[in-house]
């Protein structure tokens, strides 16, 4: 027997009528429609942040920790900013070296995922 259209749920499309299940049994990710975004989707293991952008920002504005802020590494960004201010700009060498290392070796974002190329 077909369920009236007013009483139909998302579960009716997933499970046949003879195989009814409670709402707790259904994985919520099956019920959500795919999200469409204007930018490219990346695998779960790869960051949406670019290592080229992070490296260039770090080389140009590394004394202020901008590349690290972009990557989501706020703690290191604040430390770089403080070191640069306390040493009257000499600490910005750290930012330049850090930017080169990010470009050569890559890095990880704030969630620990590797930066994309």
Residue among 95, 90, 28 nearest 59 (CA):
95
Per-residue buried b or exposed e for 42-63, using 16+ beta carbons within 10 Å of the residue's own CB: eeeeebebebeebbbbbbebbb
Question: 71-87, pLDDT tens digit by residue?
Answer: 999 999 999 999 999 99
pTM of the model: 0.61
pLDDT of 24 > 90? The answer is no
Q: Furthest-apart CA pair in the chain: how many Å?
A: 79
CB atoms under 10 Å from CB of 98, counted, come to 21
pLDDT level of residue 90 (50, 70, 90 thresholds): very high
Residue among 43, 82, 36 nearest 63 (CA):
82
pLDDT level of residue 117 (50, 70, 90 thresholds): confident
pLDDT of 41 > 70? The answer is no
């Amino acid at each position: 027997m077909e369920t009236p259209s007013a009483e139909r749920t998302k579960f009716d499309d997933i499970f046949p009528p003879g195989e009814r299940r409670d709402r707790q049994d259904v994985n919520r990710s099956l019920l959500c429609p795919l999200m469409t975004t204007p930018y490219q989707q990346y695998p779960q293991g790869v960051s949406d942040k670019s290592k080229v952008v992070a490296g260039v920002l770090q080389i140009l504005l590394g004394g202020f920790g901008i590349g690290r802020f972009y990557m989501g590494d706020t703690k290191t960004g604040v430390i770089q900013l403080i070191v640069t201010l306390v040493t009257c700009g000499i600490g910005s060498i750290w930012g330049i070296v850090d930017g080169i290392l990010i470009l050569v070796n890559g890095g990880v974002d704030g969630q620990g995922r590797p930066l994309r190329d």
